[in-house]
Amino acid sequence: MENKKAIFWLKLSFLVGMITDALALIPMLLPPLAKIFWGFKDFTGIYYFAMGYGASLMLAWTILLYWAYRKPVERRYVALFTSLILICFVVTEIVAISNGYIQLNKVVPSFVLQAILLIIFNYSVIISRNRKTTKG
C-alpha cells in the first residue's frame, strides 16, 4: 500500500512538472507572451539567443520528467535534481528583482508555483526513500 502512495506522488510530481515546463516554453518562444507574463520590452538578438538556450533546456527537462514518470520509483532522483533547478530559478528571480530587471508582481505567480512544485517533488522523494525498485 505504501508503495502505491509513493508511486502516486512521484507520478503526480513528474506530471505537474512536465505540464509546467511545457507551458513555460510558450512565453520563451513567443515574445509577445513574455511581454504579458514578465513585462519584457526589449527583444534583441541576445534575448533570442538566451531564450533559445533556455527553451532547449526546458524542452529537454520536460522529456526527462516524462521519462521519470514512466518508472517513478526507479527514477525518483530526478525529483531531487528538479528541486535543485527550482531553487536556482528562485535565486535567479530574486537577483533579477533586486537589479530591477523584473518587477516583483510579475514573479509572485512563479514563486507560488515553484513553492508548490518544491513541496510535491520533495514530499514524493521523502515518502519513496525506502522503497525498493521493481524490475519490469
Say whether 24 sits in a helix, a strand or coil: helix
Residue-level pLDDT at 130: 74
Classify residue 23: in a domain, yes or no. Answer: yes
H and E: helices and strands count for the chain: 5, 0
Classify residue 136: in a domain, yes or no. Answer: no
Residue 111 C-alpha cell reads as 514563486
**Of 133, 129, 127, residue with least CA distance to 8:** 127
- Tell me: pLDDT of 134 over 90: no
Classify residue 135: in a domain, yes or no. Answer: no
If one counts the domains in the chain, the total is 1
User: Can you give the residue range of the structural domain that contains 105?
Assistant: 2-128
Alpha-carbon span 95 to 90, nearest angstrom? 9
Q: What is the mean pLDDT of residues 32-41?
A: 86
- Tell me: pLDDT of 136 over 80: no
Classify residue 134: in a domain, yes or no. Answer: no
> Global pTM?
0.87
Residue-level pLDDT at 40: 84
Express each pLDDT in 112-127 by its tens digit.
Answer: 999 999 999 999 999 9
Classify residue 105: in a domain, yes or no. Answer: yes
